[in-house]
Amino acid sequence: MSTTAAGETRRPPRNRTHYLYIAVIIAVLLGIGTGIAAPDFAVGLKPIGESFVDLIRMMIQPVIFCTIVIGVGSVANAAKVGKVGGLALVYFISMSTFALAIGMVVGNLLHPGEGLRVTDAVRSTGQEKAAEGHGSTTEFLQSIIPDSLLSGLTSGDVLQTLMIALLVGFALQKMGRAGEPVLRGIGHAQRVVFRVLAMIMYAAPVGAFAAMAAVVGATGVDALRSLAVLMIGFYVTCGIFVFAVLGTILRLATGISIFSLLRYLGREFLLIVSTSSSESALPRLIAKMEHAGVDKATVGVVVPTGYSFNLDGTAIYLTMASLFVAEALGDPLSIGEQVSLLLFMMIASKGAAGVTGAGLATLAGGLSSHRPELVDGVGLIVGIDRFMSEARAVTNFAGNAVATVLVGKWTGSYDHERLTSVLAGEVPFDEATMLDEHEDVGEPAPASTTPSLEKTPERV
């Protein structure tokens, strides 16, 4: 509510975007029905679903670049950004290791691969996926460096964009007052980027319908029945990790309930489920974490880095899938072999988050490098990998949301009262601009710890 000069009370414009997400839910259900009733027609819709995801992906690098440059360029010194990044990496490694351990325990209890048989077709599929996923850690690290400054903004590689944005942000920070016009210009560019993203979201129902229809039409229900033990076990394990592990850490560290945080991000989870890619919700996660009171620099560093290094869902998947393949081939792994193989895969999996199907290629590539005789069994999982990809993506997304709040808490770069108010629904997220700006409705922006571009920050 706001008050005009004449003293009249004026209501803010009604948020009608909830109708959009109701339409997405209906579209997902229709997509499932279409996939079952007309599988051939449904598979033909796959390009439409892929096109919607591509539309969102084209916005990811501009969002990351603008967010990080504004955040880093506006803070008082570089040490704060380094502290955020160092603490985030330590947390990411710790939680990925914990996720691997949980997957090992559940996988050894379920023995999901017993009784399955590997055919010639399955063997050939496994070898194809191994060829897609093969790559060394050295190659991964070298790929972070772009060919040129501008190519890092158009390559599609999140880590390349992160590197360029950090360099530009630190450069503007060192320029002091001379860099402020550039910061304001990038701030205006950010407004345009988020407006375009909000426009793209109106195509979400069409994209969700096509994507869900295509996957159901391609896999059918037979694959779900035959591999139900692995799939259900994986979903349950991801649920335990998110609600029991991450929820407990979040409650103890901040007093925030995991349920309230996940409810706040409900629309993003719906988008992930309909596209099977956590990358489709990355720009909205950045916007929503800033709206919730986490500092721009913290969000800008933690979220993009977490998308490559904080892969909790992928870690659980690699663990359980490896044990499944070994059981199916009649060659169970010893505990020592499990530990060495999974530590290898944890390193090899960096960069797999957000890309639909990348988890399967990473699994095959890791087995090919460490235990080549197990690659033939990877084809057993192909039929249900898309459904497991959804759980991987949702778990990875939840892990990065929690990580952003925790790092903000530990580095003193978040507003707890603001976060509590936002999660309680008292300060709604602006779906039209995706930014905390209210010029369009004539209201002042709410108080936040995020530095303003209109103020001159102290620099050292």
- Residue 200 contacts residue 101 (beta carbons within 8 Å): no
**Is 210 in a helix, a strand, or coil?**
helix
Distinct helix (H) and strand (E) counts, the chain: 21, 2
Q: pLDDT band at residue 224, thresholds of 50, 70 and 90? A: low
Q: What are phi and psi of 2, to 5 degrees?
A: -135, 165
pLDDT for 256: 92
Q: Which one is predicted more confidently, 435 or 168?
A: 168
pLDDT per position as a tens digit, 143-157: 778 877 777 777 777
pLDDT per position as a tens digit, 366-397: 676 667 777 777 766 765 666 777 788 889 89
Nearest to 172 by CA among 84, 68, 80, 79: 68
pLDDT for 458: 38
For the four alpha carbons of 303, 306, 307 and 311, in that order, the dihedral sign comes to negative
Name the residue range of residue 273's domain. 20-426
Across residues 225-234, what is the average pLDDT? Answer: 71
Across residues 154-171, what is the average pLDDT? Answer: 80
How many distinct structural domains can be found in the chain?
1
Contacts of 228 (CB under 8 A, 6+ apart): none
- Residue 307 contacts residue 353 (beta carbons within 8 Å): yes
Confidence check: pLDDT of 6 > 50: no
**Residue 41 within any structural domain of the chain:** yes
Across residues 280-308, what is the average pLDDT? Answer: 85
**Residue 459 within any structural domain of the chain:** no
Percent of the chain whose predicted confidence (pLDDT) is above 90: 11
Q: pLDDT band at residue 420, thresholds of 50, 70 and 90? A: very high
Distance of CA 46 to the CA centre of its chain: 22
pLDDT per position as a tens digit, 178-221: 888 888 888 888 888 888 887 887 888 888 888 778 877 766 66
pLDDT for 33: 85
- Residue 363 contacts residue 345 (beta carbons within 8 Å): yes
**Residue 385 within any structural domain of the chain:** yes
Q: pLDDT band at residue 4, thresholds of 50, 70 and 90? A: very low
pLDDT for 263: 92
**Residue 5 within any structural domain of the chain:** no
pLDDT for 457: 41
pLDDT per position as a tens digit, 318-358: 888 888 877 777 777 777 777 777 777 666 555 454 445 55
- Residue 234 contacts residue 388 (beta carbons within 8 Å): yes
Opening angle at CA 240, ends 87 and 290, nearest 5: 40
Look up the CATH number of the domain holding residue 352.
1.10.3860.10
Residue spans of alpha helices (H) in 203-254: 204-219, 222-226, 228-240, 247-254
**Residue 443 within any structural domain of the chain:** no
Across residues 166-177, what is the average pLDDT? Answer: 83
| 266: its two tokens | 């409900």
What is each CA distance from 98 to 87, 104, 196, 272, 312, in whole angstroms? 17, 10, 38, 24, 8
Pairing of strands 9-10, 2-3: antiparallel
DSSP category for residue 182: H
Please tell me the distance from the alpha carbon of residue 397 to that of residue 268, in angstroms, as a whole number: 9
**Model pTM?**
0.70
What angle do helix axes 312-328 and 335-348 make, rounded to 10 degrees?
140
Nearest to 24 by CA among 218, 203, 277: 203
DSSP category for residue 281: G
pLDDT per position as a tens digit, 32-56: 888 888 888 888 888 888 788 788 7
pLDDT for 322: 82
Please tell me the distance from the alpha carbon of residue 89 to that of residue 302, in angstroms, as a whole number: 9
**Residue 31 within any structural domain of the chain:** yes
pLDDT per position as a tens digit, 74-117: 665 556 677 887 888 889 888 888 888 888 888 788 766 555 55
pLDDT for 246: 93
**Residue 304 within any structural domain of the chain:** yes
Please tell me the distance from the alpha carbon of residue 362 to that of residue 303, in angstroms, as a whole number: 22
**Residue 442 within any structural domain of the chain:** no
